[in-house]
Amino acid sequence: MTMLPETTEKKLGLVIDLDTCVGCQACATSCKEWNAQGYSAPLEDEDPRGKDPHGPWLNRIHGYEVLDEVREDSRIVHFPRSCLHCETPACVIVCPTGASYKRAEDGIVLVNPDTCIGCKLCSWACPYGAREYDVKEGIMRKCTLCVDRIYNENFAEEDRIPACVRACPTSARHYGDLGDPNSDVSKLVKERGGFDLLPEMGYKPTNKYLPPRKRRDQAEEGREALPKSDRSMVDRLFALADSLLSGKAGPH
Amino acid sequence: MNPAYSVIFFTTASGAGYGLLAILGLIGALTGAQLQTLFALIAIALALVLITAGLLSSTFHLGHPERAWRALSQWRTSWLSREGVAAIFTYPPALLFGLVVSGLYTNESLIAPLGFIIAFMAMITVFTTGKIYASLTTIRAWNQPLTVPVYLIFALATGASLMLALLSLFTFNSGLVGPFAMVALLLAALMKILYWRAIDRAPRDRTMAAATGLGDGVRQWETPHTTKNFVQREMGFVVARRHAEKIRRIVLALLIIASLSSAFAGALPALAPLAALASLLAAWAERWLFFAEGEHVVTLFYGNPRT
């Protein structure tokens, strides 16, 4: 059904830390691996070993450079992008068959592989590029939030999380209920100033992004600058010892 | 947006078909009289063939054409579903109208009401087609107040020029159809000019900074993949500005040729097929450009600084 649920009991989603993501692609590859074998149809590539390999991936890791004109410096930010499981997803509303739907119990947005006709209109409606068409299966594919893992009672408790979160070596991906203000993910969002992508478009994404922290030399508070010499006898003695031990000409 | 030929063919062919159906319906509604049997049959058949060919073309463009019937279910929210429903509901009255207006089934009292109904249903169907595009907030050039009126006027203009061509083939007096086609084609040109002006002036206020939340200094450093993915292939297509200007001029020139030919088709019937051809080519080029100029928000993640 493409009618959206008025509210969902939970708002399951991801919180992605742009500060700690190192762009290793482990989340993307583990996502591909998991989703090529479990729920829904295989997630095959076309021409996988040829000149033009391409196919549906449900998670893409961009790399951006953020210039700081004042400091004439820049930093690299790795930016994982997948379905944000919006509260008012346009992709669901436009679906003519009801194959795209948002679950009332947990807010996960899914595609039913047995009723999707492959018209691609949902991919046009999504501003985040979260949906990729599977030519081999003739259906649209998207992140399922590993719905076949998170409720899987055959798994150990610690494995009942999305494959991408499980794989992340720097804990840059967090999974939980963003509808519960007391959940760990909600607290993290509050503490770190988590933000929405393209909030002005009004789709109310569930997934949040945590901004990169300020670098040590940019931070206003808690700045860890080295103490300066006060030119006292003790200081000069240490400076002399330092220069002798390091073999340099003198204190600078 | 990638200008896929199946969708361009669908919207221009079925648009012209629904336009022709609407004109035929209006003729029936206003005169309430039977038309010459062969002419009426050919006119209704041409309209329904164009519509059906368009619908089939859009169905084959699906990943699972055999499931197309499911698209009729979500009319409460989806304009694509509403389009399917409107298209299906247009067939029965159109077929019945074909029977009575051609005289195969003699019942003159049905001609006027059925004519009104099919003209209305044809326009509703084109309206829903336009709405599919106009309601997508992700593509600013489509999410415009003029998108739906342009779909409607192009359907009417191409349909009227087809009707004019049919009348001239049968050496019938084209009556008001010539002036109607002339006005509709000029109106199409005028609305396209206003539409292009609107999209050129629309503020490009969606930015990579807002998409990524990384501030004004953000630029693409590394793409996530080494070959183009579906998102880039489907939504990354943008026509060069210079090229678009050229196609805009071609569309306007074709519409003016078609309009002038329609105006003088009463005196010189040989001009009528020329008007039909020029209007269909104009619709095709216009529709191609409609897709090619549709810049999608997702391009912001792939290096486009603003859209």
Let me know whether B230 and B130 are in one domain. no
Count Cβ atoms within 10 A of the Cβ of residue B226 and give its class: 0-12 exposed, 13-18 middle, 19 or more buried. Answer: exposed
Let me know whether B35 and B122 are in one domain. yes
**Is the CB of B1 less than 8 angstroms away from the CB of A97?**
no
Let me know whether B189 and B304 are in one domain. yes
Indicate whether B17 belongs to any domain. yes
Indicate whether B14 belongs to any domain. yes
- Are B303 and B232 in contact, with CB atoms under 8 Å apart? no
**Is the CB of A63 less than 8 angstroms away from the CB of B219?**
no
Indicate whether A236 belongs to any domain. no
Interval A42-58: pLDDT, tens: 899 999 899 999 999 99
**Is the CB of B210 less than 8 angstroms away from the CB of A121?**
no
Joined tokens for residue A237:
């003695």
Provide the residue range defining the domain that includes A33.
12-210
**Is the CB of B78 less than 8 angstroms away from the CB of A127?**
no
B63 neighbourhood in chain A, CB within 8 Å = 116-119, 133-135, 137-140
Would you say residue A148 has pLDDT above 80?
yes
A:77-96 residues touching chain B, CB 8 A cutoff:
77, 79, 81, 90, 92-96
Higher pLDDT, A71 or A242: A242
Let me know whether B98 and B221 are in one domain. no
Indicate whether B142 belongs to any domain. no
- Are B251 and B181 in contact, with CB atoms under 8 Å apart? no
All residues at 6 or more sequence positions from A119 whose CB lies less than 8 Å from its CB, including other chains: A96, B61, B62, B63, B71, B80
**Is the CB of A57 less than 8 angstroms away from the CB of B229?**
yes
Mutate to test the interface with B, among A64, A70, A143 (most CBs of B within 10 A): A64
Per-residue confidence (pLDDT) for residue A247, from 0 to 100: 73
Distance CA(A119)–CA(A121), nearest Å, equals: 6
Phi and psi angles of residue B263, each rounded to the nearest 5 degrees, phi first: -65, -35
A119 neighbourhood in chain B, CB within 8 Å = 61-63, 71, 80
Banded model confidence at residue A239, pLDDT cuts 50, 70, 90: confident
**Is the CB of B63 less than 8 angstroms away from the CB of A133?**
yes
**Amino acid identity for residue B245 in this structure:** E
- Are B209 and B266 in contact, with CB atoms under 8 Å apart? no
Q: By three-state DSSP, how is residue A13 classified?
A: strand
User: Which letter, b or e, does each residue of B145-156 get, where b requires 16 or more Cβ atoms within 10 Å of its Cβ?
Assistant: ebbbbbbbbbbb
The domain total for chain A is 1
Indicate whether B162 belongs to any domain. no
Instruction: Give me the torsion for CA of B295, B301, B303, B307, rounded to 10°.
Output: 30
| Residue A226 to chain B, least CA–CA distance (Å) | 29
Indicate whether B199 belongs to any domain. yes
The domain total for chain B is 2
Count Cβ atoms within 10 A of the Cβ of residue A244 and give its class: 0-12 exposed, 13-18 middle, 19 or more buried. Answer: exposed
Give the nearest partner residue to A197 out of B67, B72, B213, using CB atoms: B213
Distance CA(A69)–CA(A42), nearest Å, equals: 46
A97 neighbourhood in chain B, CB within 8 Å = 67, 70-71, 73-74, 81
Indicate whether B141 belongs to any domain. no
Per-residue confidence (pLDDT) for residue A1, from 0 to 100: 61
Would you say residue A41 has pLDDT above 90?
no
| Eight-state DSSP code of residue A47 | S
Distances (CA, A) of A10 to A103, A130, A181, B70: 10, 21, 11, 29
- Are B299 and B307 in contact, with CB atoms under 8 Å apart? yes
> Per this entry, what is the length of chain B?
307
Let me know whether B70 and B182 are in one domain. no
Domain boundary among B135, B163, B195: B135
Would you say residue A248 has pLDDT above 70?
no
- The ipTM value here is 0.94
- Are A167 and A30 in contact, with CB atoms under 8 Å apart? yes
Phi and psi angles of residue A21, each rounded to the nearest 5 degrees, phi first: -65, 130
Per-residue confidence (pLDDT) for residue A228, from 0 to 100: 67
Let me know whether B197 and B261 are in one domain. yes
Domain boundary among B117, B135, B153: B135
| Residue A237 to chain B, least CA–CA distance (Å) | 46
Distance CA(A64)–CA(B61), nearest Å, equals: 35
Interval A163-206: pLDDT, tens: 999 999 999 999 999 999 999 999 999 999 999 999 999 999 99
Q: Taking residues A52-67, what's their average pLDDT?
A: 95
All residues at 6 or more sequence positions from B113 whose CB lies less than 8 Å from its CB, including other chains: B29
All residues at 6 or more sequence positions from B253 whose CB lies less than 8 Å from its CB, including other chains: none
**Is the CB of A62 less than 8 angstroms away from the CB of B220?**
yes
**Could you report the average pLDDT of every consecutive run of 10 residues in chain B (307 residues)?**
91 97 96 92 97 93 94 96 97 97 92 97 98 97 98 98 95 89 98 97 94 94 93 92 95 98 92 96 97 96 94
Would you say residue A134 has pLDDT above 90?
yes
Let me know whether B226 and B129 are in one domain. no
pLDDT more than 70, % of chain A: 92
Give the nearest partner residue to B221 out of A60, A65, A98, using CB atoms: A65
Indicate whether B158 belongs to any domain. no
**Is the CB of B297 less than 8 angstroms away from the CB of A201?**
yes
When the pLDDT of each residue in chain A is averaged and rounded to a whole number, the result is: 91
Let me know whether B224 and B110 are in one domain. no
A1 neighbourhood in chain B, CB within 8 Å = 74
**Is the CB of A1 less than 8 angstroms away from the CB of B74?**
yes
Let me know whether B20 and B111 are in one domain. yes
**Is the CB of B77 less than 8 angstroms away from the CB of A2?**
yes
**Is the CB of B77 less than 8 angstroms away from the CB of A197?**
no
**Is the CB of A65 less than 8 angstroms away from the CB of B211?**
no
A62 neighbourhood in chain B, CB within 8 Å = 212, 220, 222-224, 301
- Residue A61 contacts B where some CB pair is shorter than 8 Å: yes
B232: enclosing H helix or E strand: helix B230-235
- Are B307 and B139 in contact, with CB atoms under 8 Å apart? no
- Are B258 and B275 in contact, with CB atoms under 8 Å apart? yes
Half-sphere exposure of A232 toward its Cβ, with a 13 Å CA cutoff?
A: 4
Higher pLDDT, A218 or A18: A18
Per-residue confidence (pLDDT) for residue A221, from 0 to 100: 55
B79 neighbourhood in chain A, CB within 8 Å = 94
Would you say residue A71 has pLDDT above 90?
no
Q: Taking residues A9-25, what's their average pLDDT?
A: 96
Q: Residue B212: closest CA among chain A residues belongs to which residue?
A: A197
Higher pLDDT, A227 or B307: B307
Would you say residue A2 has pLDDT above 80?
no
Joined tokens for residue B64:
């699972």
Count Cβ atoms within 10 A of the Cβ of residue B99 and give its class: 0-12 exposed, 13-18 middle, 19 or more buried. Answer: middle
Indicate whether B58 belongs to any domain. yes
Per-residue confidence (pLDDT) for residue B78, from 0 to 100: 97
- Residue A22 contacts B where some CB pair is shorter than 8 Å: no
Per-residue confidence (pLDDT) for residue A215, from 0 to 100: 78
Per-residue confidence (pLDDT) for residue A95, from 0 to 100: 97
Let me know whether B179 and B101 are in one domain. no
Domain boundary among B115, B135, B155: B135
Give the nearest partner residue to B71 out of A81, A96, A138, using CB atoms: A96
Provide the residue range defining the domain that includes B276.
174-307
Joined tokens for residue A236:
């000069």
Banded model confidence at residue A219, pLDDT cuts 50, 70, 90: low
Indicate whether A97 belongs to any domain. yes
Let me know whether B113 and B230 are in one domain. no
| Residue A158 to chain B, least CA–CA distance (Å) | 29
CATH value at residue A129: 3.30.70.20
